[in-house]
Amino acid sequence: MKPWFGLGKLELAAFVFFSLFLLLQCLSIAAANVALGFSVFFILCLLISAFKNSKKKGFLEICQQNRFLCLLFVLFWGTILCSAIFSGDLLKGSKIFIGQFVYRTVPLFIILFIFPKKGFASFFLFLSLLSCILDVIGGIIIHGDGPRLRGLYGHPMTLAGFLITSLPILFCFLLNWKQNRKALFLTIASFLIGFTGLLLNGTRGAWLALAVTLPLVTILYDRSIKKILFLVVFAIGTSLVFFNSPQLQNRAESITSTTLQSNTERLLMWESACEMFKDHPVFGVGIGQYSSKYLTEYKSPEAREEQNHCHNNFLQMLAENGVVGFIGFCLLFGYILLSSLKKALFNSSPYHVLIFGSTLALLLQGFTEYNFGNSAVIKYYWAILGCLLVLAHQSENKTSGSSFPPFQCNKTEI
């Protein structure tokens, strides 16, 4: 049965526009934002109608099911709100708090609370991954002659954020050899397009993140000798690609360069962020104040670039939001990471393997890029997380297998 079958008018309108948002999120920021805006409007109308009719039971059940995640979001928002209050510009801080830290999480909560069925989650996950793959294909067609693949957004770091969230999922799909031939072909094609896109993208932090994440998700997903050998063969094949491509080899070797400007510039920005934190340890320099403080007070005389963030999620949080915001950030993502790892290890849950892989890859890349502050990337991540959480809950409740071929096997086969 189609997931949208039997929806009311408001639900159907919200579903259509939210689906458009997911499909367009890696392709056009303007069109995706318009679609998300319309979906939020119809969802608000739906919520007003639901609460007028006292249909609160379903929402309370979902809150209970995701109680720790919801509580940690409230805690995190509270810590960031403190930074906004003490930022010196309450109006600006409040706007950034709502826009950057609350509104960007809307895709996650739409999926969890409005469309919490596995049919919707599977469909939404498919649209999200398709959007990422189309971004790579479009980037190759339009910007393929550039030194680094940029995707349709036009920035290599944004494309890297999409890919680093998607590739652990696609790789796990690739590990299921029991799916039918058409599904396996589609899985192989999608992963190869995405992986090729990441190589051409040249984002070194994303390369390192994937090099750590893929072996871990392979072991968590399936510890069989065949899958380990497959991983080894894949690693050898990737190494041969690098050895036979001077451009990729030079890019990889530049990771440890002490003279390359992008490396030295990051080190200088990180030093400046540490100085901000030392001067403002509790609430930081204030939400939205990093850029102006860096350029006017903390920028090193040796730094050449005019940057508005410090290319590091953790140092950015420390500098701008202090130890209070940093604790909230670490508790939120630490819970997502560790709870998914625990369930992947002890419950043999494939969807929690995907949650762990995508989150770990995002955070590892976040040591060299402020991907949490990238609107498109973080909304993409929250949407992916919402889909996987719904599918994980459905699996735990023993409803039925996912409509995605890679997870039609039972737990003993994983």
The model's confidence at residue 66, banded by pLDDT at 50, 70 and 90, is confident
Mean pLDDT of 317-327: 96
Higher local confidence (pLDDT), 292 or 6? 292
Least confident interval from 47-51, 82-86, 307-311, 382-386: 47-51
Q: How many angstroms separate the CA atoms of 220 and 81, rounded? A: 37
| Closest-CA residue to 197 (of 264, 151, 228) | 151
Least confident interval from 74-83, 191-200, 387-396: 387-396
Mean pLDDT of 374-396: 94
Q: How many angstroms separate the CA atoms of 144 and 49, rounded? A: 49
Higher local confidence (pLDDT), 401 or 300? 300
Least confident interval from 236-245, 246-255, 299-308: 299-308
SS3 for 319?
Answer: helix
Q: How many angstroms separate the CA atoms of 314 and 173, rounded? A: 31
Mean pLDDT of 139-155: 86
Q: What is the pLDDT of residue 293?
A: 92
Q: Where are the beta strands (DSSP E) in 75-194?
A: none
Least confident interval from 122-131, 377-386, 396-405: 396-405
pLDDT over threshold 70, residue 164: yes
Q: Tens digits of per-residue pLDDT, 213-247? A: 999 999 999 888 999 999 999 999 999 999 999 99
Q: What Rg value do the Cα atoms of the chain yield, rounded?
A: 21
Q: How many angstroms separate the CA atoms of 21 and 19, rounded? A: 5
Higher local confidence (pLDDT), 112 or 1? 112
CA atoms within 13 A on the CB side of 112: 23
Mean pLDDT of 63-68: 84
The model's confidence at residue 49, banded by pLDDT at 50, 70 and 90, is confident
pLDDT over threshold 50, residue 405: no
Longest dimension (CA), the chain: 65
The model's confidence at residue 397, banded by pLDDT at 50, 70 and 90, is low
The model's confidence at residue 395, banded by pLDDT at 50, 70 and 90, is confident
How high is the mean pLDDT of the chain? 89
pLDDT over threshold 70, residue 356: yes
CA atoms within 13 A on the CB side of 211: 12
This prediction's pTM = 0.92
Higher local confidence (pLDDT), 261 or 198? 198
Mean pLDDT of 248-274: 91
The model's confidence at residue 4, banded by pLDDT at 50, 70 and 90, is low
Answer yes or no: are the C-beta atoms of 34 and 16 closer than 8 Å.
no
Mean pLDDT of 185-202: 95
Q: How many angstroms separate the CA atoms of 376 and 32, rounded? A: 9
Residue 153 CB coordination number (10 Å): 21
Q: How many angstroms separate the CA atoms of 108 and 248, rounded? A: 36
Q: Please, is 223 exposed, middle or buried when counting C-beta atoms within 10 Å of its C-beta (0-12, 13-18, 19+)?
A: exposed
Report in angstroms the alpha-carbon separations of 250 from 12, 202, 270, 366.
Answer: 51, 10, 25, 23
Residue 116 CB coordination number (10 Å): 21
Q: How many angstroms separate the CA atoms of 304 and 43, rounded? A: 46
Mean pLDDT of 32-36: 96
The model's confidence at residue 144, banded by pLDDT at 50, 70 and 90, is confident
Q: What is the pLDDT of residue 411?
A: 37
Q: How many angstroms separate the CA atoms of 134 and 137, rounded? A: 5
pLDDT over threshold 60, residue 407: no
pLDDT over threshold 60, residue 399: no
pLDDT over threshold 90, residue 180: no
Q: Tens digits of per-residue pLDDT, 9-32? A: 889 999 999 999 999 999 999 999
